Structure formats: C-alpha cells, structure tokens
Chains A and B, each alone.
Chain A
Amino acid sequence: MIHVLVAKVASKTGVLSRVAGHFTRRGYNIQNIAACETHDPEVVHLTISIEADERDVELVVNQLSRLSDVIDAHDASRFQAVERQFMLIKVACNPTQRQEILKIADTFDCKVVSFGNENVIFELADVASKLTAAEKAFEYYGILEMIKTGSIIMEN
C-alpha cells in the first residue's frame, strides 16, 4: 500500500540525500518525493510516498525521526490533511481537435500554458485522482509528455 509521509527537516546541505538514503538502506522505493520551501527559510517540507506494509510504516517514521536533521515526521494518513499535486501535460492536438480538447481541459480546470500547431500544454493542480482522470481523458488524443510533481500535503 502507498503511504504518504510528511517531514519537516532542517534546510541543510545533504539533508535530502540523508532522507533518501534512509529509505534505500531499508529497501523501500520512494515513489514520489517533493521538497518544498516553507514560510521558515530554515525549514524544508518533504512529502514522501512509499510502498510499505502498515506495520512497517511506523518503524520507517520512527527511524526517520531519529535523523538529527529531521524536526518532525509522521504518516499523513493519520491526520486530516489537504493534498495537491501539480501536473504539466503535453497533448497531441491538430487545429481541428482544438475545440474538443479545450472543452475537456475546461472540465478538469486545466489551464493552457502553451499552444502550438501540433500540441498543447496544460497545467493542472489538484488531488492525485483528479490528475489521473484528466490524464485518462487526454489519452485518446495522445499524450506526448507528462510530468507530475508528486503530492504535497498540509494538515488542516
């Protein structure tokens, strides 16, 4: 099962490699990691998605908390939180399909960031499931490129 962990860490050189190393050493694969600036310039907010058993998550969090530069870490699923992901998606689009594709984009609240003769790039910030749904909808026309930032999470 995918677990999303959040951690506040000191903004120091090497902290990301320290945190990442913590997971690889124990055989976990990081599916997503988002390192974000915060209101405090000395603190970085990490959102990390990993595939792990329920029983392993607590252990992973405890071990993560042990790192000196980790101020606080926990499993986000234990809290009420809002989640957002950001996606850039380049969809194949010839001039005849424009109206159709823009309509779909509109349904998902996608914003146009670039418009060419052969493709259009949209941006979308929403929950993970919504991003997946939009991706599915665009698949019909051909996705030329797609990148997602991974989730960022803020507790209510």
Chain B
Amino acid sequence: MNGADVVVKFMKNKDVEYVFGYPGGPVLHLYDAVYRHDLNHILTRHEQGAVHAAEGYAKATGKTGVCFATSGPGATNLVTGLADAMLDSVPVMAVTGQVATAFIGHDAFQEADILGITMPITKNNYLVRKKEMLLEILNDAWDTAIEGRPGPVLVDIPKDVLMAHFDDDMDFNPPKKHFEKVKSTKYDIADQLSAISEALRTAHRPMILAGGGVTLSKGAGQLVSDFAKKTGIPVGITLMGKGALVPGDAASLGMCGMHGSAFANMALSKCDLLIAVGSRFSDRTIGNARSYAKGRFIIHADIDAAEISKNMEVNIPVVADAAEFMKAMQTINFEEKKIEEWNAWNEEVQVAKHGINVSFQTSGPLKPQEIIQAVARAVPDAIVVTDVGQHQMFAAQHFPICKNRSFITSGGLGTMGFGLPASIGTALGRPGEDVILFTGDGSIQMNIQELATLRRLSPNVKVFLIDNGCLGMVRQWQQQFYESRYSQINLDDNPDFMGIAKAYGLLAFDITEREGLDEKIREIIDISGPVIIHCKVAEMENVYPLIPPGKGPSDMVGVKE
C-alpha cells in the first residue's frame, strides 16, 4: 500500500460519503487510489466548485466536507472556499498534492506554498514532510475540523509521500500524539450563572439573539425555544441563525441586522438586556458595537473564547457551547411577576410585528421578492441555498426556513459563486429533500461551469436565477450612498441563460410574468431532477429595511409604519 492508499482508506474509515475534487499531476497517485478503492469522488469543473460543494455538504449535514486538489493552481483555487468556511465555521478538510519533498522551495512546476497561503484562513494546516507523519496528521486534521468551533483544515501531501510504501496492516487509529491544550476555565457557565440570573431579575426588556452557533449545536434551537416559551423573552436570530427556530415559534421575531425585519431590529434597539448565544456580533448584525452597548446589559455565550470581547465588550461573558449554555439557563427560576412583565414586553414587540412592515410594489416588472415568496408557498420545507447579493437578502427575508441546517448561505465572507456548487453538495448530503438555489445573474457566472456537475449528478436542485441585469446590491449602495453614480454594475448584455442551460443539457424555464406564477412554480417543483428557472425581474428593486453601515438597529431605512 502507498501513501495515496492510506489517504483514501482513511476517508473510507471515517465514513466519508463524498469527496469533491479535481485531479492533476502530483495527485495522480491519489486519483489512482480513488479509482482502485472506488471512492465516491465527485468531479467538479473547478477546485473552487469542489470546496464550496464540500461546504454545502458540511453545512447541510453537520459532517465534515472533504475536497481534493492538486498542487499549485489546484490548491490556490481552494483559497476562497477555505476563507469562506473559516468565517462561517464550516468543517472542511482539504487534501492537496504538493511537489515532491526534494523539490519544495525550488519553484518547481505547479509549486505553491499553500501552507503559508492558507495559514490565516484555516483552523490549522499541515505539510506532511515525512511519511511517518501522514496518518497522525490526517487524524489530527480530522479532529481539528470538527472539534469545538468547527472550521477548515488543509493537509498538503508531497508526491513522494503519496508514493511511499506503507505496511498493509497499519493501525488507522493510532493513539493521539498531539498535545492536550491547557483549557482555561475562565468564564465557565457554572461560575457565571448566578451573575446571569441576578442580571435577568432586574431586566425589564430582555431579548435573546440566536446566532449560527445555535444551528450548529445539537438541540440548542429547541432549548432556546423552550426557554423563550417559559420566560416570555423574545428571540431574534442572525442570518447564520436562520433555521435554528421554526418560523411558527411564537417567540421568534425573525432576523436581526442590516437587512433584518423591522420589528426584530426595533426589539434589538429597545431591549435593556441582550443574551447573545453563538453569535460573534458581526458588523452586519449589530452595526456600531460601541454605541449599541451603551446603556445596555449584554450577556454573551460562545464556544470560542476568542470571540469574547472581540467585537463587543460585554457584561457577562460565558465560554460554552450553545446547548450547554441554554441547559444551564433552564435551571434558573424566575418570579411570576417578572415573567408577566417579560410577556407584556414580548407582546408589545409582537404587536409591532403586525404594525410595521416592509412592502414592495406588486405592479410593473416582476419583483424578486414575489418569486421567493411563491417558491416558499410551493415548497415550504425546502432547503434553501443562496448565492450572494440582493437575492440572498430577499431569500433571508421572505423564505421562512422550517428545518435546522436548511438555510445554506455564505454569511461571513459573502462569496459570490458559492451557491451553485454548494447546492450540489447540499443535495448530495440530504437526498430526498427539495433543494432550492436562489442565485443572481452576477453570482451564477462566478461558478457557472458547475452546471456541468449539476447535469452529471442530476440532484434535485431547482436553480432560481434571479436576473435583474445588473449587480443589484452594489447598484443599490451606489444609488443610496454614491448619489446614483452607477459604476461597473451593468450586466445588460448577459448571455442567453436559457441557451446556456440548453448547452449544458439542463431543463430550463423562463419566468417573466406575475400571472400564474404559483402554478408555474408548482409545476416546476414537481419535476424531479435539476431545473434552471430564469426569472427576469425588476432592475431597480432595493432591499429594505436597511441599516446603513456603521449605524445601529434604530437607524433603519425603508420602513413604512
């Protein structure tokens, strides 16, 4: 057996269902092992497609997504996806080929220092310098990707290590050799609980903000929901928290942040105590952290100690997994009177939910929001995957997600081109479920080659291409913050997307009219396998509400009373 066999057998031992990747020179041995061991490998048409597909798979299943790439350009093509996975805490394991050990540092053909390049965008990365290190590194990388706050890892394997001889009867689970890190017990929930209950007892308008951590931690969403029900404390979610709470949940206010719902942001600005769980107070969620914190009591629970006081100085920090934190919160008992007060505050917020709304004109050209709402009516329990831009925010606003891990989006890095490959990974990870991809005419062209992968695998993905003939989000900002000086956003000479779909051998439909929209969408959803739905929509539609950058939740624009 050689090093490549070790890698492939390792993946099989870890029950890896799919590996996404692209072959090349230094990984010829690896791909030979893929062939000989019949590893379930998905050939994408670009390494970026492979890493985003692995992300989609990981986001949708909670399992580690695996991708292979060759050295040099193959490895550097993974960079955007790794950075994306780092910011959204996605467990991804990338295995890259490297030139032979003797050539490293000699600027050999297709050599790139991928270890150096990906150091800041991986949780950890490794170069296997000696064959003796291979299995230890694979095991360490695998554990690192999934432990604590998940994230991407990269293992760079030189060609000679992939070719080296290994004993056939080697132990694939060697004892852990890596160091036990010294665990800090600072900000343990046990030490902070009495302070938390004390703070809550004096709070009049408390609120919970549930972030991505609540979707990642098993059972955390239900625990948040139970706690909210028991106490009457309203809950807002972040973009990454979408799916943590089911939309019918009375406590749920929906999404907070730059394009969050008006009432969720109103609550966020009115609350006197905020309990943030599994959120890093991103600038897109909270705006100006310093002014937000003023005159407000903030409790922050996060699994990652490095998030404590990174973006927000808080009153009570807790280092804990979201479910563990919420379990501890359940043990606090509150006076009846307090619960009544909180329920009244909740009601006040919920009333606002009906009073304030953001409407859009359903006249003139078709609006992107109409498409999204119609799809949500047709397949309410779908897994929604998005690309990045206006359509992403419209999907977040108008598609209520009713299952956990079912809103697959590039939240932190905001990677255009994420959607199509991610939807393929999602569909493979969750067979039998409806997968809806909302993408834009800008985004889809950033990884349009993956239509070939979609065609070959034919998973049940419905691609709604929301085409406004421009880079909509950039256009909106230029309109609002640059006095309508539209710079480099025009895409009015887009290719014929129907023709493109046809060329890739995919079934495609055009949607241009409001009339019969629901029926048409239902018909399309009923078709099994992939379909491209080209939706020509209004060019000038804006995403509202909007909290201008650097402002706070009380500075919303585009809200009608």
On A, residues with C-beta under 8 Å from B are 8, 10, 13-14, 17-18, 21, 25, 42-43, 55, 58-59, 62-63, 65-72
Q: How far is the CA of A17 from the CA of B118 in the complex (A)?
A: 12
Closest to B304 in A: A66
Closest to A40 in B: B179
- B305-A65 in contact (CB<8A): yes
| Mask of B154-195 contacts with A, CB within 8 angstroms, 1/0 | 000000000000000000000000111110100000000000
Closest to B187 in A: A62
| Binding-face segment, B119-127, B387-395, B425-433, B551-559 | B119-127
Q: How far is the CB of A114 from chain B (nearest CB, A)?
A: 36
Q: Which residues of B contact A8 (CB under 8 A)?
A: 182
- B119-A17 in contact (CB<8A): yes
Q: How far is the CA of A43 from the CA of B140 in the complex (A)?
A: 18
Q: How far is the CA of A17 from the CA of B115 in the complex (A)?
A: 11
Which positions 95-130 of chain B face chain A at CB distance < 8 Å? 115-116, 119-120, 123-124, 127, 129
Q: Which residues of A contact B140 (CB under 8 A)?
A: 68
Tell me if B531 counts as interface (CB < 8 A to partner A).
no
Q: How far is the CA of A58 from the CA of B310 in the complex (A)?
A: 10
- A69-B120 in contact (CB<8A): no
Q: How far is the CA of A63 from the CA of B359 in the complex (A)?
A: 43
Closest to B143 in A: A68
Q: How far is the CA of A96 from the CA of B109 in the complex (A)?
A: 63
On B, residues with C-beta under 8 Å from A are 115-116, 119-120, 123-124, 127, 129, 140, 144, 178-182, 184, 304-306, 308-310, 313
> Contacts A25-B120, A68-B123, A68-B124; is A55 near B309 (CB within 8 Å)?
yes
Partner of A69, one of B124, B304, B309: B124
- A-B contact number at CB 8 A: 50
Closest to A63 in B: B306
28 contacts between A and B (CB under 8 A): A10-B178, A13-B127, A14-B115, A14-B119, A17-B116, A18-B119, A21-B120, A43-B179, A55-B313, A58-B308, A58-B309, A59-B306, A59-B308, A59-B309, A62-B305, A63-B310, A65-B181, A65-B184, A65-B305, A65-B306, A66-B306, A68-B123, A68-B140, A69-B124, A70-B181, A71-B180, A71-B181, A71-B182
Q: How far is the CB of A21 from chain B (nearest CB, A)?
A: 6
- Among A10, A18, A62, A63, which residue has the most Cβ atoms of chain B within 10 A? A62
Q: How far is the CB of B137 from chain A (nearest CB, A)?
A: 10
Closest to B313 in A: A55
Apart from A65-B184, A66-B304, A70-B181, what 10 extra A-B contacts exist at CB < 8 Å?
Answer: A10-B178, A14-B119, A17-B116, A21-B119, A25-B120, A42-B179, A59-B309, A62-B306, A63-B310, A65-B306
Closest to B307 in A: A62
- A10-B179 in contact (CB<8A): yes
> Contacts A18-B119, A21-B120, A70-B181; is A62 near B308 (CB within 8 Å)?
yes
Q: How far is the CA of A72 from the CA of B186 in the complex (A)?
A: 14
Q: Which residues of A contact B144 (CB under 8 A)?
A: 68
Q: How far is the CB of A43 from chain B (nearest CB, A)?
A: 8
- Among A14, A65, A68, A70, which residue has the most Cβ atoms of chain B within 10 A? A68
Q: Which residues of B contact A70 (CB under 8 A)?
A: 181
- Among A10, A63, A66, A71, which residue has the most Cβ atoms of chain B within 10 A? A66
Q: Which 6 interchain pairs have the tightest Cβ spacing?
A: A72-B182, A68-B124, A62-B306, A63-B306, A66-B306, A62-B305
Q: Which residues of A contact B120 (CB under 8 A)?
A: 21, 25
Q: How far is the CA of A25 from the CA of B448 in the complex (A)?
A: 33
Q: How far is the CA of A41 from the CA of B310 in the complex (A)?
A: 34
Partner of A66, one of B119, B129, B305: B305
Q: How far is the CA of A38 from the CA of B304 in the complex (A)?
A: 29
Q: How far is the CA of A59 from the CA of B302 in the complex (A)?
A: 14
Q: Which residues of A contact B310 (CB under 8 A)?
A: 59, 63
Q: Which residues of A contact B123 (CB under 8 A)?
A: 68
Q: How far is the CA of A139 from the CA of B29 in the complex (A)?
A: 64
- A72-B181 in contact (CB<8A): yes
Q: How far is the CB of A52 from chain B (nearest CB, A)?
A: 13
